[in-house]
Structure 1
Amino acid sequence: MSLLVTIRTADLGAGVQKSAPADRLIEGNPEITVWDQDASHGGRVRSGVADLGVGTTRSMKGGDCEVVHIISGVAELTEEGGETRTFRAGDSFVMKPGFTGVWKTVETVRKVFTVISGA
């Protein structure tokens, strides 16, 4: 098994359809499609691609860390007690363990992600 993994961002086929958890839904009913492409360390590190439909949800990372690169679309993130920041295609950011805030998808987002659980 190679230790170098390419994350494909196009021609992904059918992904796994998800809905935002009801207790985190603020506005709309954003559809979520996820294409998990790699997992390691017993599933503690996951990478892949996700499409996020328009809507607003509460984002709570707990002990997880998520690294995100936006391929397309527009999202606004507001950290609890902080200012709203806008992210567009080409932008990257990290939500560190303990992050709590609001994720608003303004235009459908396609993102590459890596989640490190229990970071």
Structure 2
Amino acid sequence: MPVDIDDLVTFSNHPLTPTASEPPPERRLEGTPKQGVANYFTDATGQLDAGFWESEPGKWHAVSERNEFCYILEGHVRIADERGNSKDFRKGDAFLIPYGFKGTWQILEFTKKYYVIFVPKDR
């Protein structure tokens, strides 16, 4: 089946209203951050997702069982590894969290991001 221009996924149109969510209680470290996610695309294999995510301030344990590319649209995020080393990301920053990362996500200011997630089947 041919793919044409109408099949392109245009993130800037924000076609979906984010679905409410929050980190699971057992992973929360600070606050009860309200979050929203709007998945714009899932490929036919179910391994690749892309969309929009937002979160209020809070902090939780992060265990990455996927590869995730993030592009920060607004806000301030601090990601720390298990040893306590951390990096801050703000509007315009892009980064990739590789499969197997363990640490914390901390939202310091209300944050919005685009994401692209790939979940390897062989892991």
TM-score by length of 2: 0.87
Which of 90, 93, 109 is matched with 1:107 structurally? Answer: 109
1:7 aligns with 2:11: yes
Question: What does residue range 75-90 of structure 1 map to in structure 2 within 5 Å?
Answer: 75-90=77-92
1:74 aligns with 2:76: yes
Of 38-47 and 26-35, more deviation after overlay is shown by 38-47
Cα root mean square deviation, aligned: 1.7
Look up the SS of the partner of 1:8 in the other structure. helix
Q: Over alpha carbons, which structure has the higher Rg?
A: 2
Look up the SS of the partner of 2:83 in the other structure. coil
Q: Deviations over 1:11-50 (max 9, x none)?
A: x552210111111111100111001101104221000000
Alpha-carbon distance, 1:8 to partner? 2.6
Runs of 5+ consecutive residues of structure 1 not aligned to the other structure: none
Q: Deviations over 1:72-109 (max 9, x none)?
A: 00000101125111100000111000001110000011
- Separation in 2, partners of 1:103, 1:71: 16
Tell me what 1:25 maps to.
28
- Separation in 2, partners of 1:35, 1:18: 11
Higher helix share: 2
> Taking every aligned residue pair, what percent have the same amino acid on both sides?
24
1:39 aligns with 2:42: yes
Runs of 5+ consecutive residues of structure 2 not aligned to the other structure: none
Specify whether residues 61 and 9 from structure 1 end up closer, same or farther in structure 2 by C-alpha distance, changes over 3 A only. Answer: farther
| Count of residue pairs the alignment pairs up | 117
- Separation in 2, partners of 1:89, 1:9: 18
Tell me what 1:92 maps to.
94
Q: Deviations over 1:38-69 (max 9, x none)?
A: 1104221000000011000111112x100000
- The letter for the 1-side match of 2:78 is E
TM-score by length of 1: 0.89
Q: Retained in 2: the 8 A contact 1:25–1:56?
A: yes
